[in-house]
């Protein structure tokens, strides 16, 4: 099997295991599969869950699309008329309990071909990042450390580099550079330099994908039964407003997808079930909410 088929098979397997694990934790909600076809070539499977015991809204999508490279992508990549193949898994999980963080992850692979169908470029990208409404230091450490441990066997430079990339990306610049959450890892344009290197990058990609459930599920288990009330829900909704702002104003993937005639419902499945905006909202001084805001900047989450 070539790299692209291997990776496609991998994300389908990963989609299955992530959905089953989430169902197990939830105990009520069952994923609904929504297959879709892209008229220009390829398609995808959106797996969505709503109004569970634990997960208020979650989407775990895979897609494999190919064909003529859309003009907007030609411009973005600085190439002329080309053919492409793109394949990835993308997930966003919004839990009900405000003490359980929202999580986002994505792993993708891209190939470009010239008019003679020769592969001219290819790269991997991916990452996982956590958006808590109330920050527990030990949860952040668990999430980051699990991701770091998955990357370290490939070289100890990976985690710090990808952690920084993540910190720099998920920022609401229009909110005085407030971070969307407490980060994680993010990487893009990892180009294999040889067949062997492609195999290594695929293994790197799989190590990252496999780290997702152990990074996230223990945090869910630990916080899902904590008591909360109206106040915590309101705060969760306000923070989810910031999540919406990031995704619609700054997220390159979202804007690109919407502008290139992507499948709107799959792209916007990342949006939270509920959000709230209050004019000039400020958390009470000394509150846990204020403490969270103060921690929404690049921080150290791994004990060295």
Long-range CB contacts for residues 154-163, cutoff 8 Å, separation at least 24: 154/200, 154/203, 154/204, 154/207, 158/185, 158/187, 158/204, 159/185, 159/302, 161/187, 162/127, 162/186, 162/187, 163/301
Lookup result for tokens 């720099």: 168
Phi-psi region of 283 (alpha: psi -120 to 50; beta: other; left: phi over 0): beta
Instruction: Draw the binding track, 174-193, toward its own copies (x: CB under 8 A; -: no contact).
Output: xxx-----------------
Phi-psi region of 251 (alpha: psi -120 to 50; beta: other; left: phi over 0): beta
Pick from 129, 232, 245, 289 the residue near its own copies by CB under 8 A: 245
CB of 1 to its own copies, least distance (A): 32
> Which residue of the set 8, 104, 142, 144 is catalytic?
104
CB of 249 to its own copies, least distance (A): 5
Q: Give dist(CA 89, CA 203) in Å, integer.
A: 16
Nearer to its own copies, 265 or 294 (CB): 265
**Is position 28 an interface residue for its own copies (rule: CB under 8 A)?**
no
CB of 289 to its own copies, least distance (A): 17
Taking a C-beta distance cutoff of 8 angstroms, is the pair 163, 184 a contact? yes
Instruction: Draw the binding track, 218-237, toward its own copies (x: CB under 8 A; -: no contact).
Output: -------------------x
Task: Select the span of 70-78, 119-127, 142-150, 277-285 touching its own copies (CB under 8 A).
Answer: 277-285
Instruction: Draw the binding track, 52-71, toward its own copies (x: CB under 8 A; -: no contact).
Output: -----x-x------------
CB of 171 to its own copies, least distance (A): 13
Q: What is the 3-state secondary structure (H, E, C) of 16-52?
A: HHHHHHHHHHHCCCCCEEEEEECCCCEEEEEEEEECC
Q: Is 142 a residue of the active site? A: no
Residues near its own copies (CB under 8 A) are 34, 46, 48, 50, 57, 59, 174-176, 237, 241, 244-245, 248-249, 255, 258-259, 264-265, 268-269, 271-280
């Amino acid at each position: 099997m070539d790299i692209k088929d291997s990776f496609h098979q991998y994300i389908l397997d990963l989609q299955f295991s992530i959905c089953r694990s989430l169902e197990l934790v939830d105990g009520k909600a069952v994923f609904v599969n929504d297959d879709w076809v892209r008229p220009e070539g390829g398609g995808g499977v959106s797996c969505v869950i709503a109004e569970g015991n634990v997960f208020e809204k979650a989407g775990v999508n895979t897609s494999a699309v190919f064909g003529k490279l859309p003009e907007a992508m030609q411009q973005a990549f600085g190439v002329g008329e080309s053919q492409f193949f793109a394949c990835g898994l993308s997930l966003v999980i919004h839990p009900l309990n405000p003490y359980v963080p929202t999580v986002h992850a994505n792993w993708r692979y891209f190939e470009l071909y010239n008019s003679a169908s020769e592969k001219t470029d290819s790269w991997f990208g991916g990452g996982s990042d956590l958006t808590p409404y109330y920050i527990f230091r030990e949860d952040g450490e668990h999430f980051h450390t699990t991701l770091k441990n998955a990357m370290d066997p490939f070289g100890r430079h990976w985690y710090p580099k990808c952690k920084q990339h993540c910190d720099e990306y998920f920022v609401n610049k229009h909110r005085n550079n407030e971070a969307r959450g407490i980060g994680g890892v993010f990487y893009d344009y990892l180009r294999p330099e040889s067949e062997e290197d492609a195999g290594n990058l695929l293994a790197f990609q799989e190590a990252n994908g496999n780290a997702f459930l152990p990074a996230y599920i223990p945090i869910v288990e630990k916080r899902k039964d904590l008591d909360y009330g109206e106040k915590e829900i309101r705060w969760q909704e306000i923070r989810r407003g910031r999540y919406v702002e990031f995704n619609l104003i700054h997220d390159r993937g979202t804007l690109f997808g919407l502008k290139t005639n992507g499948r709107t419902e799959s792209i916007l499945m990342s949006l939270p079930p509920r959000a709230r905006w209050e004019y000039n909202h400020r958390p009470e001084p000394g509150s846990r909410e204020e403490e969270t805001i103060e921690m929404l900047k690049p921080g150290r989450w791994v004990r060295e």
